[in-house]
Structure 1
Amino acid sequence: AYNYPYLGISGQSISPQVAKLHELTNTQLGVYVAEVIRGGPSDSAGIVGSEETGDIIIAIDEQSVSSFEDLVGYLVTETAPGQTVTLTVLRSGEQRQIPVTLGERPNSAQLVSNPSAGSGQSGPVNARQAIELAEQAVIDGNLVDGDIIQRIVTPSVSNGVEVWEVELTTDTQSAKVTVERETGEILEVVVE
């Protein structure tokens, strides 16, 4: 089972509307922390979440964060529960470095208990499952030659549906597979 690293925040990418609402400059990028889950990793570390004056996350482990997708993508691909990451936040206009020890997303273990891939799955599909489903589709369909040497997974939204964009690369080809996050259904495969 793949256990999701968990920060314990809810927030949003900073759009012009969000910037205006919180009197930020239009060029400010990052993740506005609207709420910190009580008792979660970010709460323990002292991250401030508020509809009015929440922290703005602008980097994680010195990798700049310009959107919520950046933050989630880094957590999924680069971290694991129990690992400590350093969040760079803006608070009242000042930059602060705050170490946060990641937790494990609640209930992630139950999601993987069903061994039948694809249609029989209950609950949302996590990043590792999405990679497995994408590889299965590409290999079953003989869509690429050679062994897959690189796997990149990114959370995204396609036509209003939350998806994983999985990029599988061999020596000579790359396949982009769109996997619906809720069901594990393969929505699109593009081979280059």
Structure 2
Amino acid sequence: MKRLFKRSAVVFVAVVMSLGTALAQDKVPSSKMEMQLSFSPLVQSAAPAVVNVYATRKVQARSRSPFFDDPFFQRFFGNGGIGQPRERVQRSLGSGVIVDPSGVIVTNHHVIDGATEVKIALSDRSEFEADVVLDDERTDLAILKVRDAKHPFPSLEFADSDDLLVGDLVLAIGNPFGVGQTVTSGIVSALARTQVGVTDYQFFIQTDAAINPGNSGGALVDMKGRLVGINSSIFTRSGGSNGIGFAIPANMVRVVAEAAISGNKVQRAWFGGNLQTVSADIAEGLGMDRPQGVLVTEIDPAGPAQAAGLQVGDLILKVNDNTVNSPDGFGYRFTTVGIGETVRLTILRQGSEKQISLKAVAAPEKPLRDEREIAGYSPFSGTKILNLSPAVAQELGLETSMTGVVISHVAQGSTAQRLGVKAGDIVRRINGEFIRNTKVMKILCDQKFRLWRLEIEREGKLIKTVISG
């Protein structure tokens, strides 16, 4: 019995050793090449097209004297000479990506917002002055062009960001904290992230590749060295990377870049209707086993949706072959199709699926915007006003069926700002008179009233107030 046990033990040890040898042969690298798995060839190809962006802006700062609030000094000097505005220079640092050999660069709007001077630096430390060709706040994208470019620049080609899958490897290249060009690796953590609060389109690639301040405008590249996104923001509680970064998909970036290269402004396809996310209750009411798609809640009689035969109550499931589950997702898919293209919608109507095609057209500017500035002593002093049209409403993120006069800009420190007037406010009445257009409003605002009775629509609510003249 003991001999049998010893023999069995010897056989067991021999099997384990031979199995271990086999596993070791399978898993341990057998050559130097196998040990040198590296992203370096990919980085060497992509990194030269990623640049540092230096933006300079001049701001008005009010110098504060320690005696400013002293009544004695105010008696002799008043406010003149004390606390007067002076010019101060602010500098910001970000990243950018060259997407055309002629020196066309994509970065974030928030990197160059308000800049009076922009410079870019290549990875070889050579510097160039650049002009802002296009600045689109709604997508948080800006397009720069190298001034007096004398030779072709390294550039990245666009990937189809719709081909990305969760789990795909990606690299983030940029200049975090101004320490110099840095590469981090990660995976695609999620797609079609919404409610991030950075752009109006609310449609992002999420990655765990480390993204930090200064990375904004940098490149997110795939394993073929193609641009899949522009790094835009991070979710953080400490100010550093927590492994949750967001990038604007390349398909949206391409639309903005192509508009700039062709010398046009960014045109967004006009749907001509309002949409709503499908909740569990709505899904149950429609006889669906789960929430999906977006519900058509309003149709503009003059819009493309009406012309295509869409109806209130239709459920849009897909734009072309892409599933949509939120108005933001629909807006992204619809916009990136491109003006002039035909869009195929898969809808659910009364329990049956059907296909509807509509042409992607730009929103019309009827009536003309007729921009005017309001000055003087009215409550709207310091504002710019526009006639509402589908195009203007789309630019300001309002419902495209709205009409009237809208506040498009409120100057810092103006009377209007102090009174709480906001961009996007629609002025309905002034002292009982209906505001049909900007001309009518300008005439009223040039008058001197002892009391101003105002009716303003903000986010669907009517605000009535009385202000002393």
Q: TM-score, normalised by structure 1?
A: 0.51
Alignment pair present for 1:34 and 2:34: no
**C-alpha separation in 1, matches of 2:364 and 2:289:** 35
Alignment pair present for 1:85 and 2:348: no
CA RMSD of aligned residues (A): 3.5
Offset at residue 63 of structure 1 (A): 0.7
5+ residue gaps, structure 2, are: 1-264, 372-382, 387-391, 396-422, 425-469
Q: Decide which of 286, 298, 319 is 1:60's aligned counterpart.
A: 319
CA contact (8 A) 1:87 1:98 kept: yes
**C-alpha separation in 2, matches of 1:19 and 1:32:** 10
- Secondary structure at the counterpart of residue 47 of structure 1: coil
Offset at residue 23 of structure 1 (A): 3.2
CA contact (8 A) 2:345 2:356 kept: yes
CA contact (8 A) 1:40 1:103 kept: no
- CA separation of 1:48 and 1:125: change in aligned 2, threshold 3 A: closer
Residue 71 of structure 1 aligns with an amino acid whose one-letter code is F
5+ residue gaps, structure 1, are: 114-119, 128-180, 183-192
Bigger Cα displacement from structure 2, 81-90 vs 24-33: 24-33
Which residue of 2 is the match for residue 75 of structure 1? 334
- CA separation of 1:94 and 1:122: change in aligned 2, threshold 3 A: same
Alignment pair present for 1:25 and 2:288: yes
CA contact (8 A) 1:4 1:81 kept: yes
CA contact (8 A) 2:315 2:349 kept: yes
Which residue of 1 is the match for residue 186 of structure 2? none
CA contact (8 A) 2:345 2:357 kept: yes
**C-alpha separation in 2, matches of 1:34 and 1:90:** 14
**C-alpha separation in 2, matches of 1:122 and 1:62:** 40
Offset at residue 105 of structure 1 (A): 2.2
- CA separation of 1:11 and 1:126: change in aligned 2, threshold 3 A: closer
**C-alpha separation in 2, matches of 1:14 and 1:34:** 11
Offset at residue 126 of structure 1 (A): 7.9
**C-alpha separation in 2, matches of 1:125 and 1:11:** 16
**C-alpha separation in 2, matches of 1:5 and 1:107:** 13
Which residue of 1 is the match for residue 353 of structure 2? 95
Q: Deviations over 1:75-94 (max 9, x none)?
A: 23x22222210000011111
Offset at residue 35 of structure 1 (A): 1.6
**C-alpha separation in 2, matches of 1:105 and 1:93:** 31
Alignment pair present for 1:11 and 2:265: no
Structure number with the bigger relative contact order (C-alpha 8 A, sep ≥ 6) is 1
**C-alpha separation in 1, matches of 2:275 and 2:360:** 17
Aligned sequence identity (%): 24
Offset at residue 95 of structure 1 (A): 0.8
Offset at residue 107 of structure 1 (A): 3.9
**C-alpha separation in 2, matches of 1:121 and 1:86:** 39
Offset at residue 34 of structure 1 (A): 1.2
**C-alpha separation in 1, matches of 2:345 and 2:283:** 20
**C-alpha separation in 1, matches of 2:350 and 2:394:** 35
Offset at residue 125 of structure 1 (A): 11
**C-alpha separation in 2, matches of 1:37 and 1:126:** 13
Q: Deviations over 1:96-124 (max 9, x none)?
A: 1111112212449x89x9xxxxxx99888
Which residue of 2 is the match for residue 105 of structure 1? 363
- CA separation of 1:29 and 1:126: change in aligned 2, threshold 3 A: same
**C-alpha separation in 1, matches of 2:281 and 2:393:** 31
CA contact (8 A) 2:320 2:345 kept: yes
- CA separation of 1:75 and 1:121: change in aligned 2, threshold 3 A: farther
Q: TM-score, normalised by structure 2?
A: 0.23
**C-alpha separation in 2, matches of 1:16 and 1:31:** 12
- Secondary structure at the counterpart of residue 10 of structure 1: strand
Offset at residue 74 of structure 1 (A): 1.1
Which of structure 1's runs of 4+ aligned residues deviate more than 6 A? 120-127
**C-alpha separation in 2, matches of 1:125 and 1:48:** 22
When the two structures are aligned, how many residues end up with a matched partner? 123
**C-alpha separation in 1, matches of 2:276 and 2:301:** 18
- Secondary structure at the counterpart of residue 82 of structure 1: coil
